[in-house]
A and B are shown apart, each in its own frame.
Chain A
Amino acid sequence: MPTLPVFRDARYFQIIFQVVFLTYGIYYLHWSAEWWLYLTYLTASGVTQLFFSIFFKPKPAILFSTDWNRQFMRTVPSFLISSLGLSLLLKTNQWPVAILAAVVSIASKYLIRIRGKHLFNPSALGIVTAVYLTGQAWISPAQWGSNMVILFGVLCLGFIVTTRVQKLDVSLAFLLTFAGLLFYRQVVYLGWPMDFFIQSVSTGSLLLFSFFMITDPKTTPDHPWARIGWAVAIAIAAFYLATFKFMNGAPIWVLVFAQPLVPVLDRIFPAKKFEWDNREKTTPKEKQFLQAVYTHAVM
């Protein structure tokens, strides 16, 4: 069948997702749209990407040469995705903080690499750095509300993307563990009614995290069981911090700190290094699509 050109690069698909979420937030949920902030993220990410595309990967290129052009154009969706990810999650009143977050996100992709994989989820690292280092940025866990419609939408959309690379195991392991612990704590142990529990698990933030952030195969262990165990451990830690330490945005925090474990787990549980689909007959084009989705899967 013919391929629609816009979907040839899966990252555009990812960008559409993010733009829809941002639009939904601004126009339907009435976020106070901080256009200057979105613009700062965009510009800072772009400039950083430009910098690294000149001096780093794969070899330094001459500015505005054909080679460089091609190389840089390929990275455009990548920094769009990073800056949209920050726009969706990170709030601040201070432009230097916004720049810091954007620079950290992009730079980490180039500077912190182990075995050819970047170690941290770029947006998650940018967010954690900005929130905990400067104290002048914050995330609003309740910004999506607990609307069942968004729960359903995110679930379906996330599902489609995730199943394509069989990484649904990470999402489900995390989500089921986290929700299970919450259920036990809230409903079984404390005796709250069901809607109390539903309110805690139907938040958009949790689902976006489960389906779009933790699933990045570049930053998850290769071995299936190691991967599941890793996700379960993150869920337990996040549950503990959220429940007993009252931490906001605990999953993102835990994820960043769990990512350095990935190379260790990969060493202990050797597995075939992540191949963009190693069991099904996927066309190269599809492989490219999936690869692109997961390299940049960042909400």
Chain B
Amino acid sequence: MKRKLMIIGAMIGISPLLYSFCGFYVSKADGTLKNKTSQVILVRDGNRTVITMYNDFKGDTKDFAMVVPVPVVLQKSDIHVVEPSIFQRLNDYSAPRLVEYWDQNPCEKYAYDELKQMAPTSAMSKSEDKASGNIRAKDLGVKVEAKYLVGEYDILILSAKESGGLKEWLTTNGYKIPAGAEEVLDPYIKSNLKFFVVKVNEKEKQKLNNNFLRPIQINFNSPKFMLPIRLGMANADGDQDLIVYAFTRKGRIECTNYRNVNIPTGQHIPLFVQNNFSAFYSNLFDKQWNNEDKSVGFLEYAWDVSPQNYLKCDPCVAEAPSEQDLVQSGVWWLKNKDWNDYSDIDNDEPDNGRKNVHFTRLHFRYNRSSFPQDLMFQVTPNTENYQARYVITHPATGDLNCDAGRKYLQDLRKRRKNELVQLTALTGRNLDNWEEQASVDNEDEKMSNVQYATLLPEVKADMAGNGNGPRGILLISALLLGTAGFLRWKGVV
């Protein structure tokens, strides 16, 4: 028998910093398990947090279990299962987008302005979470605090006195803990966290008659607003992506212990990128992530998605989340009926802003060395909208043989050269990498001197001697300051 245990950490503790959240596989077999993209929905207002976790576990449900560190012993009413489609909808809605414009023929009288959107294809793989195994509490300082059946899951809530005991307990019950996990568990236990073990109840699973596992949603009260990721690094020997979809009443969320950077947006890029926008964006992300020294969270989208807000996206690449979607994501303040235990929350502000919902999409790529701490967040009053948006423009068609037309072709040539420069700047890929795609683009014979394939070598030549910008300026400033300080110290000035 083979079992896998996945630990997702939802935690809170007393430590000043954060604890972990996403994806920690424990395998009984010595297989190579690795997390890929995790997706999490965070809903936060006042001291209440709702976390919905989606993981890309694939395999037999019998082989899978999940352990989630939580700040308190959760009640049954604090745990729900939701439909996985909600993640797909949020991803489609907020993913980086390519927008398309058409030039009008300057030689023709009529004009048509058109704007189309193309949905990017940053598909996230579906996950299946499976759990199995019979877990017995033993005298290892491990205590079963509660036991629930929620949806297709059997849930146990454990508290442990020390990581050794917890580890032994898990081992005795047939779960193999990867090297390094014990060290990670220890600080969590000392911070008084509980762990809940989730596994699949096969009987309930069969009743559902579907072949996937639904995301689990938990909610609790705690001043700490964080996402434990450290646990997920226990056996991850590479970079892991995490997408956070956050909803608050006040404004954007931002990370408080790693830098927040807006992913570049609004650039005009060559037409041929439309053939492979996902590749373009993934190159762009790689480049920006490396450029920013890796320890950063990228903002990909921020928007006011309040039910009363008319403009939920501009342009929209997919349907905006409906009120029902929001409620399903855990936005409790839109529900007419509050949570059963909601009475203890002290956020009864006046009507002003009661129904506001602000959405933030953050993209992290973490690894052990760049992210020594879990992710900490704050809700800011920043209500500005933001989207990662890239623009392609189709050239005018038809006969361009007039004065305005010739002028247009000149401008087009210039513009396309800029687009190529932009492309390398954004993706960090040498222009050679794009040659093949550029040459696929076959337009009118007449336009040959504005074709990307023609322009590419020219741009390459132009770019041959390019220096480094701000870094140099900063070095000089630092040098000047240092000298000034030194002179000051020596009493020269």
Q: Tell me the A residues contacting B by CB distance below 8 Å.
A: 1-4, 7-8, 13, 16-17, 20, 23-24, 27-30, 32, 91-93, 135-138, 140-147, 153, 156-157, 160-161, 164, 182, 185-186, 189-193, 195-196, 198-200, 203, 239, 242-246, 248, 283, 286, 289
Q: Are B485 and A157 in contact (CB under 8 A)?
A: yes
Q: A27-B474, A144-B259, A200-B373 are in contact. List 10 more A-B contacts (CB 8 A).
A: A7-B488, A16-B484, A17-B481, A93-B383, A153-B478, A185-B16, A189-B190, A200-B16, A200-B17, A248-B378
In the complex, the answer to whether A27 meets B255 with C-beta atoms within 8 Å is: no
How many Å lie between the Cα of A146 and that of B256 in the bound state?
A: 11
**Which partner residue on chain A sits nearest B250 by CB separation?**
A135
Task: List the A side residues contacting B381 at CB < 8 Å.
Answer: 92-93, 135-138
- Find the A residue at minimum CB distance from B163: A191
- Inside 8 A of A20's CB, which chain B residues have their CB? 474, 477-478, 481
Q: Could you list 13 examples of A-B contacts with CB < 8 Å?
A: A1-B491, A7-B484, A23-B470, A28-B470, A28-B474, A93-B384, A140-B256, A142-B259, A143-B260, A161-B485, A191-B183, A191-B190, A243-B14
Q: Which residue on chain B has the smallest CB distance to residue A1?
A: B492
CB distance from A276 to the nearest CB of B (A): 15
Q: In the complex, A3 Cα to B469 Cα: how many Å? A: 33
Task: Tell me which residues across on chain A come within 8 A of B60, comparing CB atoms.
Answer: none
Partner of A244, one of B14, B187, B380: B14
B16 and A242: CB pair below 8 A? yes
Which of B274-282, B292-300, B308-316 has 4 or more CB atoms under 8 Å from chain A?
A: B292-300
Cα distance, A248 to B225, chains bound together (Å): 11
A196 touching B14 by the CB < 8 A rule?
Answer: no
- Nearest Cβ on chain A to B20's Cβ, whole angstroms: 11
CB distance from B85 to the nearest CB of A (A): 33
Rounded to whole angstroms, the CA-CA distance of A97 and B331 in the bound complex is: 29
Does residue B473 face the partner (Cβ distance < 8 Å to A)? Answer: yes
Q: B16, B186, B293, B493: which contacts A182 (Cβ < 8 A)?
A: B16
Number of interface residues of B (CB under 8 A): 54
Question: Which residues from chain A contact B469 at a C-beta distance below 8 Å?
Answer: 27
Is the C-beta of B254 less than 8 angstroms from some C-beta in chain A? yes
A242 to B, closest residue via Cβ: B16
CB distance from A291 to the nearest CB of B (A): 14
Are A186 and B383 neighbours in the complex by a CB distance under 8 Å? no
Q: How far is the CA of A145 from the CA of B382 in the complex (A)?
A: 20
The answer to whether B491 and A145 touch across the interface, beta carbons within 8 angstroms, is no
Instruction: Report the tally of A-B residue pairs with Cβ distances under 8 A.
Output: 146
Shortest distance between the CB of A245 and any CB in chain B (Å): 6
The reply to whether A157 and B481 contact each other, CB–CB distance below 8 Å, is yes
Contact B261 A30 (CB under 8 A): yes
Report B-chain residues with C-beta under 8 Å of the C-beta of A199.
17, 257, 372-373
Across the interface, B485 reaches (CB within 8 A) one of A4, A160, A243, namely A160
**Is the Cβ of A193 less than 8 Å from the Cβ of B183?**
yes
- B window 187-202: CB within 8 A of A: 187, 190-191
Given A145-B259, A185-B15, A4 and B493 touching (CB < 8 A)?
A: yes
- When chains A and B are docked, how far (Å) is the Cα of A137 from the Cα of B484? 35
Q: Mark B363-402, 1 if CB is under 8 A from A, else 0.
A: 0000001001100101011111000000000000000000
A7: which of B261, B295, B376, B493 is its contact (CB, 8 Å)? Answer: B493
| Cα distance, A128 to B489, chains bound together (Å) | 34
Question: What's the minimum C-beta distance from B265 to chain A, rounded to whole angstroms?
Answer: 10
Q: Which residues of A contact B17 (CB under 8 A)?
A: 186, 192, 196, 199-200
B471 interface contact, C-beta 8 A: yes
In the complex, whether B223 has a CB less than 8 A from a CB of chain A is yes
Residue of A nearest to B222 (CB): A246
Is B258 a contact of A27 with CB atoms below 8 Å?
Answer: no
> What residue of chain A has the Cβ atom nearest to residue B485's Cβ?
A160
Residues of B within 8 A of A245 (CB): 223
Give B419-443 as 1s and 0s: 1 = Cβ < 8 Å from A's Cβ atoms.
0000000000000000000000000
